[in-house]
Amino acid sequence: MVIGQLRSEVRDELGDNGHEADWIISHVTKMSQADFVLHPRDVTEEELKAIEEIVERRNQGEPLQYLLGETEFMGLTFKVTEDTLIPRADTETLVEEVIRKIGKKKLTVLDIGTGSGCIGISIAKNCKNTQVTLLDYSEAILQVAKENADLNGVNVDFVKCDILEEIPEGVFDVIVSNPPYIETDTIFSLDNMVKSYEPVEALDGGFDGLLFYQRIVEEVAPKILKDGGYIAFEIGYNQGEAVIDILKEADFVSIKLKKDPCDNDRVVTAKKG
């Protein structure tokens, strides 16, 4: 089948405006979207079978990023598996804020709950003088982060640590984290795509969603964040006030709340007093 006909059939099957159809076809055929027009060719039987299988699973609700095993974040490609959360566009607000703050400074950065590594790796890629450490609690997750560090050509460190149970070694100038922050009860009401496919451990922030902020601010940062060090969190749209209170209680200063492009509260930053 020629590529043009395949594109329109896949669009129809997905009920999609073309974005996902092109992404799938490009992924399987290894043709760029420009190639579809400039160098069209017939797809092989094997490619067709692979595309049909992806479309079928996609129509059953499986996230495309898991089906293709990759996604885009901050203009970079990241591998994702069922062990890792799919990086969200919202999280780019946090990363952009931290990159702006660090600039060319020579700093050590700890990314707590790194998952695919999207936050720490994007920082390492954009802030050449940083030494970034990626932390998560399982070897399988860190393996994905390692592959993503290689894929994006950054030299970072890795720490396996359950942040609720242990304090990682070292001292850092910056702690950045997009921790699990959904209230336990709310997880049941989440969209099926999220609930059925994404790891619950990446989402569950305890009964009030604040468990990780409290642990990091009250018990982790006092031991491993330098005095005057910078902390930056992604937060749920309705958690700004609560996270600011946690930071104030722990004597953090220069506390700032930032919104994402959809005008939701999304990032809180502060300085260790």
Ligand X SMILES: C[S@@+](CC[C@H](N)C(=O)[O-])C[C@H]1O[C@@H](n2cnc3c(N)ncnc32)[C@H](O)[C@@H]1O
- Interface with ligand X in residues 26-45 (CB under 6 A): none
Distance CA 254, CA 141 (A): 33
Measured from the CB atom, the residue of 25 and 135 that comes closer to ligand X is: 135
Q: How far is the CB of 137 from ligand X (least distance, A)?
A: 4
Least distance from ligand X to the Cβ atom of residue 105, Å: 22
Residue 154 contacts ligand X per CB under 6 A: no
Query: Of the candidates 130, 178, 214, 269, which one interacts with ligand X according to CB under 6 A?
Result: 178
Q: Does 136 bind ligand X (CB under 6 A)?
A: yes
| Site residue total, ligand X (CB under 6 A) | 20
Question: Is the CB of residue 69 less than 8 Å from the CB of residue 81?
Answer: yes
Of the residues 21, 55, 163, 267, which one makes contact with ligand X according to CB under 6 A: 163
Q: How far is the CB of 60 from ligand X (least distance, A)?
A: 24
- CB of 54 vs ligand X, minimal distance in Å: 23
What is d(CA 86, CA 194) in angstroms, rounded to the nearest whole number?
9
Q: Does 119 bind ligand X (CB under 6 A)?
A: yes
Question: Least separation, in Å, of the C-beta of 6 and ligand X?
Answer: 32
Indicate which single residue of 31, 51, 85, 142 sits in contact with ligand X (rule: CB under 6 A).
85
> Closest CB to ligand X among 21 and 159?
159
Footprint of ligand X (CB under 6 A): 85, 87, 91, 113-116, 118-119, 136-137, 141, 162-164, 178-180, 201-202
